[in-house]
Structure 1
Amino acid sequence: MTTPEPQPVYLGGPRFQTDPAELYREMRRDHGAVAPVVLDGDVPAWLVLGYRELHQVTSDPALFSRDSDLWNQWDNIPADWPLLPMIGRKQPSILYTVGARHGERAAMISEALESVDPFELKGYAEQIADELIDALCGKGACDLIAQYAMLLPLRVLARIYGFADAQGPGLVSAMNDMINGREGALEGQRHLGGSMFALLAAKQAAPGPDVVSHMLANRAGFTLEEVAQDLMVMMAAGHQPTADWIGNSLRLMLTDDRFAASLAGGRHSVGEAMNEVLWEDTPTQNVAGRWTSRDTKLGGRHIAAGDLVLLGLAAANSDPHVRADTGALTGGNNAFFSFGHGEHRCPFPAQEVAEVIARTGIEVLLDRLPDVDLAVPAHALSRRPSPWLRGLTELPVTYTPTPALGATR
């Protein structure tokens, strides 16, 4: 009697909040390095769990293309599908551009981000972090996610891109709705798009020393629509994963004995915790997507032309074929997939901006609130209901109330 083939796994549900690492282990056990999954609406796809297989997919953009027009499921996708902002029909952004044109767009984005002075960036992050902590430090308790981590990256990015600080809260809400892929996702996408076009119009009329003005001055024949779409990608990819990087790193430092001893004084331990998170608790769990340009084999699976292939970054990071030491400190090892791989990986200047914001945010917080401690049992912490990004819903802490810096200046 033959054993029935395990059923495809629904890419959603509470286990992505509670214990995704165990879920990925089960999927690898039942399906191997490439697992069949279904998305909302019973839409089929493949999730790449294996480190080597993920390297193969991201190293072959001709076979595993970013061209979503190849998708063989478009006839089954309703116009109001909540995942359209994440896995949408091809838009004029860098995400869906292939070949030489993609290289030109990536170069434009990298040059614009390289125009940001790293010392000014760190100064902005320190200033905004201090302002946020000034609003919290006298209370003795707060939620570090809603009142700190979710605000800091966007406010810094808004500053270097050219947005007004007052636009931050609306942008945070819009991007969260869009990325979570639930109700409100399409409205969030519209809000973000409208904000970008308004910013472009303002900077065309009055350029400044900011990333957006730099892109407009050096857009190499790209239309305003293309520049707006790339800015939406940059803002979404730069804000939420960085906020989750801060939150996940602080959770690790507040709950793991390996970091607790140096919590108040060890800046070196901040870097170790941040690197550990990129391996074991990466903010970007899964990424959509790639579409096969022809029939192929991957991880022993037959992948038909036009199939959707999802990148399982978190699962690949913990692949036992390459990670025999899971649970040990990762040190300076940065061979993780947390920023992607290949020509569509996160540009290096964007990675550097995210690291400066996250590390500065953590260091300033620990300097200002040195006795910060978790206010609830570690097991009571919960995650957002998203299979794409992994972040805490809240991180309640207590600390000794201190005066605001603004009050002592």
Structure 2
Amino acid sequence: MFGPRFTTGNRGRLYRELRETHGPVAPVTLVGDVPAWLVLGYRELHQITGDPALFTRDSSAWNMWDRIPHDWPLMPMVGRQPSILYEVGPRHERRSTLVSDALREVDPFELHSHCERHADALIDEFCGRARADLVEQYAMKLPALVLARVFGFGEEDGAALVPSINAIVGGSGEALEGRQHLQQAMGSLLRSRAIAPGGDVATRMQTHPNSGEFSSEEVLEDMMVNIVLGHQPTADWISNSLRLMLTDDRFAASLGGGRASIGEAMNEVLWEETPTQNVAGRWTTRDTQLGGRHIQGGDLLVLSFAAANADPQIRPDQHSFTGGNSAFFSFGHGSHRCPYPAQEIAEGIARTGIEVLLDRLPDVDLDVDEEELPWRPSPFLHGLESLPVTFTPTSAVGGA
């Protein structure tokens, strides 16, 4: 899964070839020739995510642990950690309720206000220059800034977190340092809110009726998971949607000042260019059959949301416009899906970010040919490395 076709090639064509050769469940190898199963089928993914007893999120069930070195590069994705991502059973349900309730109380009008202010401030930094990279200068900053604010950070502290969050999601040499900085900042925020509560996510995480069941380390980890995993897919959702609107005539009206098709473009991206492509994963708790394959107990299943979204069994016409259909797998499914309030927050940030940008720069256009746009080399996430654009210079308006 770390070959060039998975990381930078035409993955849509690759998924089709895998499905034609192997069916809805294909054998793959990970770093170090570690075997796994790539689940391509929409129905199979529904089966897996709907049966946590047979397909567990607890990686301790893996039958490969005796072959995995402690410094395996994918250890952060599969090694059990004290966050909600690896919790199972009734305890996961109560922990998920805590997180969902804390996020559900985010005021949508307040969220919109934060988005607009930060979007304007970011655009102010480049609007007079006629050129910009909308990934580096906009999409990779806006979600982190807004999420930091609703979690409880002040403007200055939130801005200081952006490089650390991007270092973590980028897996750069500064990732460990970035995690330490974010962990320290989150810990400081939680301690301050324990003394002086506020109307923010950090306060609600600590005062929820279920919070007494979980350690301060677990609450902190869940805060970090939600801000990091909330930032990167939302950033890619923004840039992937902008790319679509800049290259597809169906969405030209949005660039002319209309907003009606922004939501349609965002929905289309979740079907065709979903930021979360493949997820590791689930582990079988006993031998079973899946998609015509015999899966041994303890095998690792990598869930391909992108392949499932293009499954011809549920989308026989791959060229048809998806419209308002939201039956995609982009946010997962089942007990470990992205919480609905988190999905609504991500959508609010992405849509407002796109609307503000198009309002401020109505004649924005690509500065390179579409084929020259570089995608980040990753088999798991799908987003642009850069989105260079040109536009008529405008004056700053004075944002956050």
User: Which TM-score bucket, shorter chain as reference?
Assistant: over 0.9
How far apart in 1 are the matches of 2:178 and 2:283? 25
| Of 342, 359, 381, the match for 2:373 | 381
Per-residue deviation, 1:144? 0.2
Question: What are the superposed Cα offsets for residues 76-98 of structure 1, whole Å, 9 maximum, x if unpaired?
Answer: 2222222122222x222111111
Change (3 A) 1:185 1:132: closer
User: Which deviates more from structure 2 when the two are superposed, residues 278-287 or residues 69-78?
Assistant: 69-78
How far apart in 1 are the matches of 2:398 and 2:164? 31
Q: Does 1:254 align with 2:246?
A: yes
Alignment correspondent of 2:132: 142
Q: Structure 1 regions of 5+ residues with no counterpart?
A: 1-9
Partners of 1:82 and 1:186 within 8 A in 2: no
Question: What are the superposed Cα offsets for residues 9-29 of structure 1, whole Å, 9 maximum, x if unpaired?
Answer: x34435432311111111112
The AA in structure 2 aligned to 1:148 is Y
Question: What are the superposed Cα offsets for residues 284-327 of structure 1, whole Å, 9 maximum, x if unpaired?
Answer: 00111111100111111111111111110000000111111222
Q: Which runs of 4+ in 1 moved over 6 A?
A: none
TM-score (norm 2): 0.95
Q: Does 1:97 align with 2:97?
A: no
Question: What are the superposed Cα offsets for residues 214-272 of structure 1, whole Å, 9 maximum, x if unpaired?
Answer: 11111142110110111121112210000000000000000011112442222111000
How far apart in 2 are the matches of 1:73 and 1:205? 45
TM-score (norm 1): 0.93
The AA in structure 2 aligned to 1:227 is V
User: Which deviates more from structure 2 when the two are superposed, residues 141-150 or residues 23-32?
Assistant: 23-32
Q: Does 1:154 align with 2:154?
A: no
How far apart in 1 are the matches of 2:20 and 2:329? 21
How far apart in 2 are the matches of 1:176 and 1:12? 24
CA RMSD of aligned residues (A): 1.8
Question: What are the superposed Cα offsets for residues 193-225 of structure 1, whole Å, 9 maximum, x if unpaired?
Answer: 333323322322332221011111111421101
Per-residue deviation, 1:181? 5.3
**Correspondence list, 1:69-108, <5 A:** 69-88=60-79, 90-108=80-98
Q: Does 1:58 align with 2:49?
A: yes
How far apart in 1 are the matches of 2:314 and 2:147? 35
Q: Does 1:402 align with 2:366?
A: no
Q: How many residues are treated as equivalent by the alignment? A: 397
Q: Does 1:357 align with 2:349?
A: yes
Alignment correspondent of 1:303: 295
Per-residue deviation, 1:126? 0.7
How far apart in 1 are the matches of 2:219 and 2:333? 23
How far apart in 2 are the matches of 1:92 and 1:284? 22
User: Which deviates more from structure 2 when the two are superposed, residues 49-58 or residues 35-44?
Assistant: 35-44
Change (3 A) 1:48 1:262: same
Partners of 2:145 and 2:162 within 8 A in 1: no
Q: Does 1:329 align with 2:321?
A: yes
The AA in structure 2 aligned to 1:398 is T
Secondary structure at the aligned position of 1:309 is classed as: strand
Q: Structure 2 regions of 5+ residues with no counterpart?
A: none
| Of 267, 280, 298, the match for 2:272 | 280
Alignment correspondent of 2:9: 18
Secondary structure at the aligned position of 2:77 is classed as: coil
Q: Does 1:129 align with 2:112?
A: no
| Of 214, 237, 244, the match for 1:245 | 237
Partners of 2:190 and 2:202 within 8 A in 1: yes
Q: Does 1:34 align with 2:62?
A: no
Secondary structure at the aligned position of 1:259 is classed as: helix
The AA in structure 1 aligned to 2:49 is T
| Of 225, 230, 234, the match for 2:217 | 225
Question: What are the superposed Cα offsets for residues 41-77 of structure 1, whole Å, 9 maximum, x if unpaired?
Answer: 2221111000011111001000000111111111222
Partners of 2:5 and 2:14 within 8 A in 1: no
Alignment correspondent of 2:188: 198
The AA in structure 2 aligned to 1:330 is T
Question: What are the superposed Cα offsets for residues 145-200 of structure 1, whole Å, 9 maximum, x if unpaired?
Answer: 00000000000000000124444566444444444557655555444433332332
